Structure 1
Amino acid sequence: MVNIRDLDPSASPLDYYGSELRRLREEAKLKQEDLGGIVFCTGSLIGQIETARKVPTRDFSERIDAALGTGGMFSRLIGLVLRSQLPAWFQAYAEMEVKATYISTFQAQLVYGLLQTPEYARAVLQAGWSDKLDEAVAAWLERQRILSKAQPPLIWVVLDEAVLYRPFGGREVMRAQLDHLLGFADHREVRIQVLPFDAGQHPATVGSFNVLRFASDPDIVYAERYGSADVTANPDTVRDCVHRYDHLQAAALSVEQSAALIARVREERYGDHPEPDGR
């Protein structure tokens, strides 16, 4: 077992969170079991979080803040803790994503992460052999909090039609995911278009990419590859990707036509109707 006295609070956000939890619990003269009873969890879980062996959740953090009267410290810290659980190569992008005022993304394989349901995200991460799946899903979904900011970024998404047919998680998960996409119809900061199969050749054959714009910083382009990612603010690269994205938007269905296609695929492929074998 890890000895918490050996933890270095500066080693990581998770270590700092654990050390502060222990310090404040002891100041309140509470045992782990006592605090667990107050916040409706086991003393063992408190111990695991204090020793940085378990990643806390946002709900846990809010309950701890209320129990220990911390003024919301753990609720503010949890975002940093969860972000630190993302793959190292993705963390820098996640920090920039929070600051962006406009995000345009083309997705050739998957629903864009900010628009994924928890179940869809879990299926995607599980398919990628993610370690500590629960923690990975929580960290991945934490990114979506930018959608509820007072001034969220404008997000324009172009999905390849293939994304609608690739059944991550099975029929029910996909049905819920497509319903979730349709739910953004009244979200004025999110626009979704589908690049249909019959669009034929298009200028993004190399794969998915994102363009981020900021209030006062240079635009950047982000593109993933196996186990890493490329992030660049090179003006020539950004200009080229913006040009390609303009062509993708022009070739894609309109927002209204895209919603109709998503609804049709949702019904025909994932609706509540019998399989050919009668199931």
Structure 2
Amino acid sequence: MTNINVLDPGASPLDYYGFELRRLRETANLTQRQLGEIVNYTGSLVGQVETARKLPTAEFSERVDAALGTGGLLSRLVELVMRSQLPAWFQQVAELELRAVEICSFQTHMVLGLLQTKDYASAVLGALDQDDVDGRAAARLARQRVFKKKAPPVFWAVLSEAVLHQEIGGAETMKGQLAHLLTFEATPRINVQILPYEAGAHAGLQGSFDVYRFQSDPTVVYTESYGSGHPTANPDTVADCSLRYDHLRAAALSLRDSAELIRRVMEDRYGEQLA
């Protein structure tokens, strides 16, 4: 257990956040309980965040920023905290997501992290390891704040139809996840297409991959294996995967037809009756 009296702000982003929270609270002459009452959290939770024993959330940070007049300091820090909680091998990818002006993703077997719900993310992350599932899921979902940037990336996701049928987390979790995908229908910067079974042999049979494009930096292709990620800017690989993605998007259903298929699967497989 971390002792607040020896908390080292240089130890990690989480420790730095806790150190700053305590400093700001004491400057305002508030106890942990008093601050908790103001922001509608328990004093115990405030104490756990201050001692780096609990991850702060974006909502917690926003409330404390407003209460203490920090100018948004903690809301900025919480993004660094969440990124630091990602696996070390994935943190570089999180940086790519933040800098990209366009992200193109092809997934063969599950909804990708940027579009996952909390329950779905928890089920994926907890499939083999239940340790701190909530914290790891929160760190994954925090990446979705990239869509709230002033200039968010244009995002394309081509999902194999198998993704809709692979029941991760149970029927209720799947209904929630598929419903979440449908919320992007009216969001032109986030586009979801389904590659139907009828497409047969296709350009993505070798597996999932992502393509990140930037304002001025070279395009990066990212692939993943167990416990490791493989980003590369090799021109031949980028050219090959870009061509593959163009073919996948062409073979996939239109945005409208993709949404209709998602609805049908919700009704037929997961019992969701939609008006």
Runs of 4+ aligned structure 1 residues displaced above 3 Å come to none
Which residue of 2 is the match for residue 277 of structure 1? none
RMSD: 1.6
CA separation in 1, counterparts of 2:211 and 2:8? 37
Which residue of 2 is the match for residue 85 of structure 1? 85
Which residue of 2 is the match for residue 161 of structure 1? 161
Normalising by structure 2, we get a TM-score of 0.93
CA separation in 1, counterparts of 2:130 and 2:95? 21
Contact 1:130–1:136 (Cα < 8 Å) also in 2: no
SS in 1 for 2:239: helix
CA separation in 2, counterparts of 1:234 and 1:128? 33
CA separation in 2, counterparts of 1:136 and 1:33? 27
Residue 242 to residue 180, structure 1, CA distance change in 2 (3 Å): same
SS in 2 for 1:127: coil
Give 1:116 shift: 1.6
Which residue of 2 is the match for residue 24 of structure 1? 24
193-202 or 231-240: bigger deviation: 193-202
Which residue of 2 is the match for residue 179 of structure 1? 179
CA separation in 2, counterparts of 1:228 and 1:61? 31
Residues 224-272 of structure 1: per-residue CA shift (max 9 Å, x gap): 1101100111111111111111221222222222222111111111124
CA separation in 1, counterparts of 2:30 and 2:183? 45
What is the identity, as a one-letter code, of the residue corresponding to 1:214?
F
Contact 2:10–2:16 (Cα < 8 Å) also in 1: yes
What is the identity, as a one-letter code, of the residue corresponding to 1:144?
Q
Residues 110-144 of structure 1: per-residue CA shift (max 9 Å, x gap): 11222222222222122242531221121111111
Contact 2:266–2:272 (Cα < 8 Å) also in 1: no
Give 1:31 shift: 2.4
Contact 2:100–2:215 (Cα < 8 Å) also in 1: yes
Residues 16-62 of structure 1: per-residue CA shift (max 9 Å, x gap): 00111112222222222232232222322222211111111111111
In structure 2, stretches of 5+ residues that fail to align are none
CA separation in 2, counterparts of 1:28 and 1:180? 40
Contact 1:125–1:133 (Cα < 8 Å) also in 2: yes
How many residues matched? 273
Give 1:103 shift: 0.7
253-262 or 208-217: bigger deviation: 253-262
Which residue of 2 is the match for residue 170 of structure 1? 170
CA separation in 2, counterparts of 1:127 and 1:86? 17
**Map 1:53-64 → 2, pairs under 5 A:** 53-64=53-64
